[in-house]
Amino acid sequence: MTSITIIKPDDWHLHFRDGDMLRETVPATARCFERAIVMPNLVPPVVNAKMALEYKGRILDAVPAGHSFDPLMTLYLTNDTTEQDIVDAKAAGIPAAKLYPAGATTNSSAAVKELEAMYPVFEKMAQEGMLLLVHGEVTDHHVDIFDREKVFIDQKLTAIVSRFPELKVVFEHITTGDAAAFVAEASDNVAATITPQHLMLNRNDLLVGGVRPHNFCLPVLKRNTHQEALRQAVKSGSPKFFLGTDSAPHAKEAKENACGCAGCYSAWGAIELYAQVFEELDALDKLEGFASTHGPDFYGLARNKDTITLVREEWTIPDEIILPDGRPIVPFHAGHVVHWKLAS
């Protein structure tokens, strides 16, 4: 096969950041995605409808001329989030709210510290038809970082989906066979996003031969058996799994230091890298569902009408990209040859 045409895809989980960074991140995403679920973990976080709509305006200002792109905004849940915040957000067209356990990842210190105290908010979200997007890790210091997703399922997520069966839940950026099995066996109101890095890499790619900071993300890469479970999940064609890059830009200096930031900036090659994974799995026929239809179907949104074409052509992801402020950033899979390319 030398080309593949699919319905224009969407990215159901990414980070744009804010300010001048938007002039890099928004065009990189809008080049191939029609919509994106935008994470709200700014500083300060996006905790209400007014802040979300103001942020949406800044994103739209950064969309290149001639591109069609629709940012789908989210609320950042805290223990101060009220049921009225949910009502107001839904009325403003905000489809989802994000649950970060406090301290789980970048800019999450203000997030939820007492999860069970959020139950009235979850009930209101179910009533309003607002989706709950979950960063599924516990943050207890005694729990090994490689076990945090599994423990979250056992201690927290099982209870949430049982208590609120009408609440639509997206288990974001899953990293383990445990998570893939949980989602596959749950009700139709539970789905998951999977990143390119968790399909392509395992913890050897982070730790063998020295720490590789540009492969460091949270949830952290797991052992190769979990990587294989995720690959089999997408190969299955199940509508419960769909594209969410978790593209998360950090300047090179913030990644390559004594306490490097978590996140992989994959927007520069995301759809191409997914195509490469599906080709390796002999499942290119499943790419369109994963990238273009499962997500909008789960969110209750219309599928996109336009298409994109990928051609089998080798190109190399740049070693660095220069941000608008002059700082370099290292994209995910920098310097590697990719076998699929977005047609002009």
Whether 181 has a binding-site annotation, put simply, is: no
Count Cβ atoms within 10 A of the Cβ of residue 54 and give its class: 0-12 exposed, 13-18 middle, 19 or more buried. exposed
CA proximity to 96, closest of 39, 163, 156: 39
* 3 state DSSP class of 137: coil
Whether 132 has a binding-site annotation, put simply, is: no
Whether 218 has a binding-site annotation, put simply, is: yes
HSE-up (13 A, CA, CB side) for residue 89: 31
Q: Tell me the residue type at 260.
A: G
Whether 339 has a binding-site annotation, put simply, is: no
Whether 67 has a binding-site annotation, put simply, is: no
Distance CA 185, CA 192 (A): 12
What are the φ and ψ backbone dihedral angles of 2, each rounded to 5 degrees? -110, -10
β partners of residue 35: 70
Whether 250 has a binding-site annotation, put simply, is: yes
Contact 98, 118 (CB under 8 A): no
Distance CA 256, CA 179 (A): 30
Contact 113, 126 (CB under 8 A): no
Whether 15 has a binding-site annotation, put simply, is: yes
Whether 262 has a binding-site annotation, put simply, is: yes
Distance CA 308, CA 116 (A): 43
Contact 306, 34 (CB under 8 A): yes
Which of 10, 85, 178, 246 is the catalytic position? 246
Distance CA 67, CA 92 (A): 24
Whether 336 has a binding-site annotation, put simply, is: no
Whether 16 has a binding-site annotation, put simply, is: yes
Whether 246 has a binding-site annotation, put simply, is: yes
DSSP code string of 168-210: -EEETT--SHHHHHHHHHS-TTEEEEE-HHHHH--THHHHTTS
Distance CA 60, CA 49 (A): 16
Whether 206 has a binding-site annotation, put simply, is: no
**188 is annotated as an active-site residue:** no
Task: Pick out the residues of the known binding site for substrate.
Answer: 15-17, 41, 135, 218, 250, 262
Binding-site annotation: residue ranges: 13, 15-17, 41, 98, 135, 173, 218, 246, 250, 262
Binding residues for Zn(2+): 13, 15, 98, 135, 173, 246
So which residues are the catalytic ones? 246
